[in-house]
């Protein structure tokens, strides 16, 4: 164990070194050392070698003694140290003085020095050195210099007892003069005799070697001791090397070599020291990384390993380049060479992470080769998601390369990865495990994580156990600062873990690990169907099986066996574990008790427990096995219970499937015989928007019960099954579709009466498909239905394939556009033509599908002898000139003399399109001369009507018409007929009519005048007698009453003419007698016959009598 904080003062400055202690198994201190200890000395050093020249020393030994002295002097010749030497035996003599050393004659005098060969008077020799060398200015000594004395002897002082007082005085004088004394003992000399001569610390300044040949190995160590005596003023002017080294900040053993990390060496670059031997034979080697900058802290962490027989050394420098670094050294011919470096990541959250602050090596399979390197970065911090502390796992290849395997981070705050240590196998899987400390977790209380080993990744990604400090003691703080787990502290053959906390050490005792396996069994071997009956309305329960749960227990670890190998566990049984609703239960009176929880003590290798399972008398699914699942776990430890724990690798779950009895006609096999058929409900598949397509399916099972029966419907992707239901069956039949198709577009699997389709069941189903108008349909639809089951053996009747024509629904129409057409053509004598006939037809596709369309337009070319049409043309609104004209024979033109046909075709008439066709022709009227001159006195009209038409056509096998046409016949919209009216008007000859009318009227006037003259109309002198009498009665002559037949106001209206211009019945002759008004008057013929004539004669007679009165 090392403490890197050993401080000592040197001329007002504090040096920071370390001290290491070695303990035995009883934790008794064996030895301690201060490796790289920086001595405090002044500027100038006067050092005297006082070497033994007694008779016990051989000549070769004496020569090696002098060679050793000269080697030290040679190695330190550039220092501020001045040397002198003296040989002692019974007496003492000077070999060379400080002055001789400065003059350069020391080497010759040392070589010429003869072996004295007498006893060993050590104390007299020390007194001699004080008197003749240190305190004698003639020797060349510097009074203010630091003084040092190196004594080399192979025997105990001969003058220890005879000159006891002198001994005490000599040592006291040395202390008074601050003479630093180093003692080198050779051979079997007693150590306590020599340590009495040394300066404090006496053990550190006493070196023991077996013989004089060991002086060579002591050279480096003694040189460091002597070199460190140099003055402090000189040391301040140079870089700090060992003054603040803190060697022992980390430590590791490799065979007989102790490695120490010295983070403060070389201005905090850090370095490693390898220390071998002990006491006077202690030897140090330095290991550095030349690429590290100052303040890198190399040696902060240190681990040793081996790969393929090569010794390895890993050192962490957590402040290298602010990211941290780990350096791998390998030993080659006693030299440690750098093999590779691993640098912390460059991400922002890795800066200052202290990558390499802790290191750990894993030999997961315990074969002696290092497999993985674990690097801790306890100051790693990431804000999103928030994490603190990271652990990096690297795999070590045979080529000594480090490959990243995984990264582990567990806590939010806690300095996870501050300490790490490999531990022996805890769970019995023969793999090395790992412990990790997080000393600041839980508000500074701390926690320790345990990870189980893994062959490929070093450790398992998830920890197996977390031990928080608060579960152990409320007094613990920073639990997990240091960890070690390589020793069995209580002798139970289980490695324990020692965890350091602030001011406290906690020992965690390992516990035996038990592996437990479980098995389920049942009896009888199947569930009988005899008790199941769904016809009865009453609900009853009955036991179906007895379930046996057995546990087998064995220890995974290799403990002494003193532990109580028993285990408290709880297990839960779950019936029908994969179903939402369970068919079975564990309590007869509670049908919802699908699970059962029990706690038991396993105290032997084999333990079994029985439970009864129940069911209701009506269960729909008696085919699918009853799945029973069992889970178990360890019950929390109770006081006085077993200290063993359940192996986390134990399989804590078990399953068993309990089958149902199968009733078949033959015991050997159970074969279904499925007969399938289907039919289409329509004669064709009509593709129309939002349309549905229906089929009916029949399924008959003529054999044994059919298990897991299904119907697979194969159809084009343009169909999608929206519904499949039972419409008729001789027993209850349920369907479920689409559960097993994984998004297939051209098939659907429908389960039929799962799990059992009973024998003799006959069912009819209806399948409703939705039709996609976007699918590119073929001319025919092919549909295949396949019936299958687990035990169907009749494959010939289980598959049916049928084909159905496919038609697209279209909505086409052709119509006459009257507002744009010209279909009335009047002709006159002046306007005889030719006149244009304009007929506009509109062709519309109101459907959702484009299709090829043909149109035929028929027009006459000669209607009759009087009217002809010529210059026939046609134009299309969409600039499509794909029309042709055909002169049809007279047999086609049944109503006309001759006719013309326009034939037009469209490769595709797109949806929502409206195409207009304009038909033109010139109409001419012939033979006008036949109708003029003959009709002078009245108007002559000649009319004619002809009906051209347009007819629309398409492939009626592929398409069918819907909508636009009349409801009784939609195809009537495919023909449009228009009536064109022609009218020829010949007006009368108005001049002739006017001439004849004027002449006839004048002639008539003459005739009337003559007649009036003959009647004496112009000779009358007074009114009629009747009128005169009325005038007398009225009191005024010549004035008649209103409405009188005899004129008005005395105005003569003429003979026989009343006031209204009609002939007066009261007319008189010129002689005053009543005029005869019979029809035969005036010589005109009587035109009368029958009753009409008689009535007229009667009326005339009555009028005559009245006039006579």
605 belongs to a structural domain: yes
Give the pLDDT band of residue 840 (cuts 50, 70, 90). Answer: very high
Give the pLDDT band of residue 476 (cuts 50, 70, 90). Answer: very high
- Span of 36-40, 171-175, 372-376, 747-751 with lowest mean pLDDT: 36-40
Residue 455 belongs to domain with CATH number: 2.130.10.130
Q: What is the pLDDT of residue 516?
A: 94
Number of Cβ within 10 Å of residue 1008's Cβ equals: 10
- Span of 64-78, 217-231, 256-270, 415-429 with lowest mean pLDDT: 217-231
- By the 8 A CB rule, do 480 and 492 touch? no
Taking only the tens place, the pLDDT of each residue in 617-666 is 888 778 789 999 999 999 876 555 567 889 998 999 999 999 988 777 66
Given a cut of 90, whether residue 316 has pLDDT beyond it is yes
Query: Domain check: are 735 and 876 in the same one?
Result: no
Query: Domain check: are 332 and 352 in the same one?
Result: no
Q: What is the pLDDT of residue 75?
A: 82
666 belongs to a structural domain: no
Query: Domain check: are 519 and 466 in the same one?
Result: no
Report percent pLDDT > 70 for the chain. Answer: 82
Query: Domain check: are 320 and 360 in the same one?
Result: no
Given a cut of 90, whether residue 575 has pLDDT beyond it is yes
Mean pLDDT of 1007-1031: 68
Given a cut of 50, whether residue 908 has pLDDT beyond it is yes
Token reading at 162: 């005879």
Give the pLDDT band of residue 48 (cuts 50, 70, 90). Answer: very high
Q: What is the pLDDT of residue 385?
A: 78
Given a cut of 90, whether residue 117 has pLDDT beyond it is no
Q: What is the pLDDT of residue 642?
A: 65
Eight-state DSSP code of residue 134: I
Is cis: bond before 372, omega within 30 of 0?
Answer: no
Given a cut of 80, whether residue 3 has pLDDT beyond it is no
798 belongs to a structural domain: no
Three-state secondary structure string covering 1013-1058: HHCCHHHCCCCCHHHHHHHHHCCCCCCCCCCCCCCECCECCCCCEC
Query: Domain check: are 641 and 583 in the same one?
Result: yes
Q: Measured in whole angstroms, how far is the alpha carbon of residue 356 from the centre of its chain? A: 36
SS3 609: strand
Residue where the block lists tokens 């010529």: 870
Mean pLDDT of 441-449: 93
Given a cut of 50, whether residue 1047 has pLDDT beyond it is no
**Alpha-carbon Rg of the chain, whole angstroms?**
68
Q: What is the pLDDT of residue 13?
A: 63
Query: Domain check: are 286 and 403 in the same one?
Result: no
796 belongs to a structural domain: no
Q: What are phi and psi of 1002, to 5 degrees?
A: -65, -40
- Among 167, 202, 236, give the residue marking a domain's end: 236
Query: Domain check: are 622 and 683 in the same one?
Result: no
Given a cut of 90, whether residue 813 has pLDDT beyond it is no
Greater model confidence, 17 or 70: 70
Range of the domain at 203: 39-236
Total tally of structural domains belonging to the chain: 7
Taking only the tens place, the pLDDT of each residue in 347-395 is 656 688 899 999 999 999 989 899 999 999 999 988 877 888 999 999 9
Query: Domain check: are 434 and 488 in the same one?
Result: yes
899 belongs to a structural domain: yes
SS3 871: strand
106 belongs to a structural domain: yes
186 belongs to a structural domain: yes
Query: Domain check: are 592 and 714 in the same one?
Result: no
Query: Domain check: are 386 and 295 in the same one?
Result: no
Mean pLDDT of 583-593: 89
177 belongs to a structural domain: yes
Number of Cβ within 10 Å of residue 252's Cβ equals: 20
Mean pLDDT for all residues in the chain: 82
Residue 818 belongs to domain with CATH number: 2.60.40.1530
Query: Domain check: are 154 and 109 in the same one?
Result: yes
Q: What is the pLDDT of residue 1087?
A: 40
Token reading at 338: 């750098």
HSE-CB for 741 with a 13 A CA cutoff: 20
Task: For residues 968 and 846, give the distance between their C-alpha atoms in angstroms, rounded to a whole number.
Answer: 19
Mean pLDDT of 703-720: 89
Q: What is the pLDDT of residue 667?
A: 54
Give the pLDDT band of residue 237 (cuts 50, 70, 90). Answer: very low
Residue 533 belongs to domain with CATH number: 2.60.40.1460
- Among 307, 337, 367, give the residue marking a domain's end: 337
Query: Domain check: are 682 and 755 in the same one?
Result: yes
Token reading at 850: 């484009």
Question: pTM for this one?
Answer: 0.51
Given a cut of 50, whether residue 1068 has pLDDT beyond it is no
Given a cut of 80, whether residue 503 has pLDDT beyond it is yes
Mean pLDDT of 103-119: 91
Task: For residues 956 and 214, give the distance between their C-alpha atoms in angstroms, rounded to a whole number.
Answer: 119
- Among 318, 337, 356, give the residue marking a domain's end: 337
Q: What is the pLDDT of residue 350?
A: 67
- Span of 32-46, 492-506, 848-862, 1006-1020 with lowest mean pLDDT: 32-46
- By the 8 A CB rule, do 111 and 132 touch? no
Given a cut of 80, whether residue 1053 has pLDDT beyond it is no
């Amino acid at each position: 164990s090392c403490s890197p904080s050993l401080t000592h003062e040197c001329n007002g400055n504090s040096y920071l070194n370390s001290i290491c202690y070695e303990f035995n198994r009883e934790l008794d201190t064996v030895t301690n050392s201060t490796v790289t200890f920086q001595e405090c000395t002044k500027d100038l050093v006067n050092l005297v070698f006082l070497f033994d020249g007694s008779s016990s020393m051989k000549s070769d030994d004496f020569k090696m003694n002098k060679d050793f002295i000269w080697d030290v002097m040679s190695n330190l010749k550039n220092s501020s140290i001045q040397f002198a030497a003296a040989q002692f035996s019974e007496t003492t003599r000077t070999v060379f003085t400080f002055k001789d050393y400065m003059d350069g004659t020391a080497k010759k005098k040392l070589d010429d020095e003869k072996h004295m060969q007498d006893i060993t008077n050590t104390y007299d020799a020390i007194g001699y050195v004080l008197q003749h060398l240190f305190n004698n200015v003639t020797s060349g000594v510097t009074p203010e210099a630091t003084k040092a004395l190196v004594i080399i002897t192979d025997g105990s002082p001969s003058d220890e007892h005879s000159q006891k007082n002198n001994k005490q005085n000599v040592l006291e004088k040395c202390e008074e003069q601050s003479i630093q004394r180093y003692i080198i003992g050779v051979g079997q000399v007693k150590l306590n005799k020599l340590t009495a001569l040394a300066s404090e610390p006496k053990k550190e300044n006493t070196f023991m070697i077996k013989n004089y040949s060991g002086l060579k190995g002591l050279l480096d160590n003694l040189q460091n001791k002597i070199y460190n005596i140099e003055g402090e003023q000189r040391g301040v002017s140079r870089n700090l090397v060992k003054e603040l080294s803190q060697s022992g900040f980390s430590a590791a053993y490799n065979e007989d070599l102790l490695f120490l990390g010295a983070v403060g060496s070389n201005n905090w670059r850090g370095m490693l020291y390898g220390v071998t031997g002990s006491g006077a034979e202690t030897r140090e080697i330095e290991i550095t990384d030349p690429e590290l900058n100052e303040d890198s802290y190399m040696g902060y962490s240190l681990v040793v390993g081996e790969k393929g027989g090569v010794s390895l050394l890993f050192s962490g420098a957590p402040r290298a380049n602010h990211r941290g670094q780990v350096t791998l050294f390998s030993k080659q011919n006693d030299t440690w060479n750098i093999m590779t470096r691993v640098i912390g990541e460059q991400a922002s959250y890795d800066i200052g992470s202290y990558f390499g602050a802790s290191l750990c090596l894993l030999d997961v399979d315990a074969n002696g080769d290092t497999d993985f390197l674990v690097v801790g970065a306890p100051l790693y911090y990431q804000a999103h998601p928030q994490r603190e502390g990271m652990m990096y796992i690297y795999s070590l290849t045979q080529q000594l390369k480090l490959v990243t395997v995984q990264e582990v981070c567990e806590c939010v705050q806690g300095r996870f990865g501050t300490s790490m240590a490999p531990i022996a196998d805890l769970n019995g899987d023969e793999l090395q495990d790992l412990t990790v400390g997080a000393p600041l977790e839980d508000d500074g209380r701390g926690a320790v994580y345990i990870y189980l080993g893994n062959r490929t990744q070093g450790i398992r990604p998830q920890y197996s156990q977390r031990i928080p400090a608060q579960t152990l003691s409320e007094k613990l703080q920073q639990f997990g600062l240091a960890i070690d787990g390589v020793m069995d502290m209580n002798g139970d053959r289980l490695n324990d873990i020692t965890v350091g906390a602030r001011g406290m050490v906690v020992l965690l005792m390992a516990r035996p690990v038990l592996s437990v396996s479980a098995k389920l069994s049942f009896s009888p071997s199947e569930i009988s169907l005899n008790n199941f009956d769904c016809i009865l309305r009453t609900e009853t329960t009955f036991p179906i099986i007895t379930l046996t749960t057995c546990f087998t227990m064995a220890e995974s670890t290799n403990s002494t066996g003193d532990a109580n190998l028993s285990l408290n566990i709880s297990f839960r049984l779950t019936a029908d574990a994969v179903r939402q609703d369970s068919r079975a239960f564990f309590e007869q009176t509670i049908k919802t008790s699908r699970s059962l929880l029990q706690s038991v003590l396993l105290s032997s290798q084999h333990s079994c427990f029985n439970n009864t399972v129940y069911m209701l008398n009506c269960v729909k699914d008696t085919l699918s096995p009853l799945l029973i699942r069992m889970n178990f776990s360890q019950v929390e430890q109770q006081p006085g219970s077993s200290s063993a724990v359940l192996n986390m690798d134990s399989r804590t779950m078990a399953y068993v499937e309990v089958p149902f009895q199968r009733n078949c006609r033959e015991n050997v096999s159970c074969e279904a015989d499925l007969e399938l058929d289907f039919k289409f409900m329509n004669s064709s598949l009509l593709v129309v928007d939002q349309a549905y397509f229906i089929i009916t399916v029949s399924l008959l099972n003529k054999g044994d019960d059919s298990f897991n029966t299904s119907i697979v419907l194969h159809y084009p992707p343009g169909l999608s099954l929206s519904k499949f239901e039972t419409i008729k069956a001789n027993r209850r039949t349920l369907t479920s579709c689409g559960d097993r198709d994984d998004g297939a577009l051209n098939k659907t699997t429908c389960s039929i009466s799962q799990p059992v389709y009973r024998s003799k069941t006959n069912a009819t189903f209806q399948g409703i498909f939705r039709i996609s108008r976007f699918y590119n349909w073929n001319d025919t639809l092919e549909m295949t239905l396949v019936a299958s089951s687990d035990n169907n053996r009749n494959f010939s009747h289980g598959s049916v394939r049928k084909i159905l024509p496919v038609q697209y629904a279209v909505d086409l129409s052709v119509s006459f556009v009257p507002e744009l057409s010209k279909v009335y053509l009047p002709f006159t004598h002046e306007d005889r033509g030719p006149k244009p006939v304009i007929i506009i037809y509109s062709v519309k596709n109101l459907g959702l599908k484009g299709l090829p369309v043909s149109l035929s337009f028929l027009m006459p070319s000669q209607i009759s002898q009087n009217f002809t049409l010529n210059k026939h043309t046609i134009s299309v609104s969409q600039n499509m000139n794909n029309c042709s004209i055909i002169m049809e024979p007279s047999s086609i033109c049944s109503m006309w003399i001759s006719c013309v046909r326009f034939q037009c075709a469209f490769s595709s008439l797109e949806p929502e399109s409206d195409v207009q066709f304009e038909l033109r022709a010139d109409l001419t009227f012939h033979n006008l001369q036949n109708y003029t001159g003959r009709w002078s006195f009245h108007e002559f009209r000649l009319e004619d009507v002809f009906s051209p038409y347009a007819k629309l056509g398409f492939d009626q096998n592929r398409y069918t018409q819907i909508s636009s046409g009349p409801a009784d016949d939609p195809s009537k919209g495919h023909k449009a007929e228009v009536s064109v009216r022609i009218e020829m008007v010949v007006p009368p000859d108005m001049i002739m009519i006017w001439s004849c009318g004027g002449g006839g009227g004048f002639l008539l006037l003459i005739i009337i005048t003559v007649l009036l003259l003959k009647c004496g109309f112009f000779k009358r002198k007074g009114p009629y007698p009747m009128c005169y009498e009325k005038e007398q009665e009225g009191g005024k002559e010549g004035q008649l009453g209103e409405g009188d037949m005899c004129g008005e106001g005395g105005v003569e209206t003429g003979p026989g003419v009343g006031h209204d211009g009609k002939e007066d019945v009261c007319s008189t002759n010129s002689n005053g007698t009543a005029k005869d008004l019979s029809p035969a008057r005036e010589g005109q013929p009587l035109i009368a016959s029958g009753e009409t004539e008689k009535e007229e004669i009667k009326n005339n007679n009555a009028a005559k009598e009245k006039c006579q009165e």
